[in-house]
Amino acid sequence: RILKRGVIRIGYKTQNLPFTYLNTNTKTIQGFDIQYAHMLAKSMNCKIEFIPFTNENLDKLLNTGKIDIAMSGLAFVPQLKNNILFSNPVMELNLGLVVKDHRKKEFSSSKNRHIQKYKITAFEDNPFMESFKQKRPNIEFSICDKPADFFDNKENQYDGLLISAEAGSAWTLYYPGYSIIIPKPSIYRYAEAFAISGHNADFLSFINQWLKM
């Protein structure tokens, strides 16, 4: 179907540094996974159509054929939806915490993390919130809709942002007053993968072989 159409429809998130993001200056889609998208299209001799998705409509877009594959730093974790298939891991990520520079030493201490009361936020697609709530009763968790809710928060409402260390490092380039820390020992390591429709097992086999190459 993709080859007949001559276009592969790539689903992406508009604010998911460093995997996919919209460059507001050049009006182009860029990022780590976007490089993969261009390589995949070249392998299939197809053009690309980029289509944005959200957590709420991802499965619908995939299963109605609006997008062929989602390539946007998706976490491959056990709590996945049954009607979506995930590729083999693209890369391994480390769960980290973004904090202000002057508090880096404070949060690096395992003693402080278990005793002090902290307010931590995360984006809505973070799959580790519930697990953290159970293991860290001293931490108050909340959801923020977009990065600016944390980084541009003038009232210092949050003590830290729960995010992958790789994504957090990218955001600290835009906000140099912040640092990323990975608590020692590392709490979570998890895989990033691509997502396709649950009806397209053959396409999944092709994607996994392509990833090996």
**N-to-C CA span, the chain:** 23
Q: In 3-state terms, what secondary structure has residue 201?
A: helix
User: Whole-prediction pTM value?
Assistant: 0.85
The DSSP output letter for 152 is T
Two tokens, residue 2: 């993709």
Average pLDDT over residues 101-128: 76
For the stretch 53-83, pLDDT in tens is 988 899 999 999 999 999 999 988 655 566 8
163 or 154: which carries more pLDDT confidence?
Answer: 163
Structural contact between residues 94 and 112, judged by C-beta atoms closer than 8 angstroms: no
Please report which helix (H) or strand (E) contains residue 168, including its range: helix 165-174
For 51, the token pair is 């289509």
Averaged pLDDT of the chain? 87
Q: What is the mean pLDDT of residues 158-177?
A: 91
Say if residue 32 is exposed, middle or buried (CB neighbours under 10 Å; 0-12, 13-18, 19+): buried
For the segment 3-40, what is each residue's pLDDT rounded down to a tens digit?
999 999 999 998 889 999 988 788 899 999 999 999 99
Q: Would you place residue 132 in the very low, low, confident or very high pLDDT band (cuts 50, 70, 90)?
A: confident
Mean pLDDT of 184-194: 80
Quick check: helix, strand or coil at residue 194? strand
Asked whether the predicted pLDDT for residue 206 surpasses 80, the reply is yes
